[in-house]
């Protein structure tokens, strides 16, 4: 005879929700949450490379494009990338490349100048180099766009998790 109880198995996720609510879980975009506190109030530093342009574009998409005056916060970001061979054949031909990315960020209060959050995020993406020159360049461009989306997601998640940003 089996001791498996289907009712307790189905009720476990419901119990987990109640436990999550009891431990102080608060949605990001709830009134007073970090998402609503930052949305449209963060001025992101001006880009100076294609990679930083893509990163800033994604950050502004997630944090809301700020007005030109009256911003509560300033987010300075700096991005670096490096391309490396990831797969080499026995005849020394590169089949796959990898782009390693690193972004440093600092969130400051415009009112006090105090640094509220800072850190560094890293990740990598790969792309094929086995096709023609045109397809390899297109794959590299796509990989750089994907990498900047990943890095911007990591930065925004860390900003939302920063204590003390809610009103």
CA distances from 45 to 50, 57, 105, 163 (A): 14, 11, 10, 22
Report which of residues 146 and 72 the model is more confident about. 146
Is 87 part of any domain? yes
Mind listing the pLDDT tens digit for each residue in 49-104? 999 999 999 999 998 887 666 678 999 999 999 999 988 888 888 899 999 999 99
Asked if the structure places residue 115 within a domain, the reply is yes
Residues paired with 74 in a beta bridge: 43, 108
Mean pLDDT for the chain overall = 85
pLDDT at 138 over 90: yes
pLDDT given at position 41? 87
pLDDT band at 16 (very low <50, low <70, confident <90, very high): low
pLDDT at 147 over 70: yes
In a domain? residue 39: yes
- Residue 166 forms part of a structural domain: no
Per-residue confidence (pLDDT) for residue 130, from 0 to 100: 85
Decide if 14 is inside a domain: no
pTM of the model: 0.80
84, part of any domain: yes
Q: What CATH number has the domain bearing residue 155?
A: 3.30.160.150
134 Cβ contact list (under 8 Å, min separation 6) = none
Residue (of 15, 36, 1, 20) closest to 159 by Cα position: 36
Q: Specify the number of domains making up the chain.
A: 1
In this structure, of 8-22, 47-61, 66-80, 135-149, the range with the lowest mean pLDDT score is: 8-22
Percentage of residues in the chain having pLDDT higher than 70: 78
Domain extent for 118 = 29-160
Judged by phi (left if over 0) then psi (alpha if -120 to 50, else beta), residue 70 lies in left
Domain-embedded: residue 167: no
**pLDDT (0 to 100) of residue 118:** 95
The average pLDDT across 129-147 equals 93
Domain presence at residue 18:
no
Please tell me the predicted confidence (pLDDT) of residue 145.
97
pLDDT for 38: 82
Task: List, in sequence order, every beta strand (DSSP E) within the chain.
Answer: 42-44, 73-88, 94-109, 115-128
């Amino acid at each position: 005879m089996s001791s498996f109880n289907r009712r307790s198995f189905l009720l476990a996720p419901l119990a987990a929700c109640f436990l999550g609510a009891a431990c102080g879980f608060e949605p990001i975009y709830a009134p007073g949450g970090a998402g609503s506190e930052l949305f449209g109030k963060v001025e992101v530093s001006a880009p100076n490379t294609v990679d930083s342009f893509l990163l800033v574009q994604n950050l502004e998409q997630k944090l809301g494009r700020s007005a030109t005056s009256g911003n509560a916060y300033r987010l300075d970001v700096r991005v670096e990338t490096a391309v490396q061979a990831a797969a080499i054949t026995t005849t020394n031909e590169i089949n796959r490349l990898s782009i390693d990315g690193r972004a440093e960020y600092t969130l400051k209060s415009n009112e006090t100048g105090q640094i509220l959050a800072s850190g560094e995020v890293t990740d990598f993406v790969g792309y094929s180099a086995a096709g023609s020159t045109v397809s390899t360049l297109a794959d590299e461009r796509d990989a750089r766009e994907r990498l900047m989306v990943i890095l911007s997601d990591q930065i925004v998640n860390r900003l939302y998790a920063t204590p003390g940003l809610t009103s």
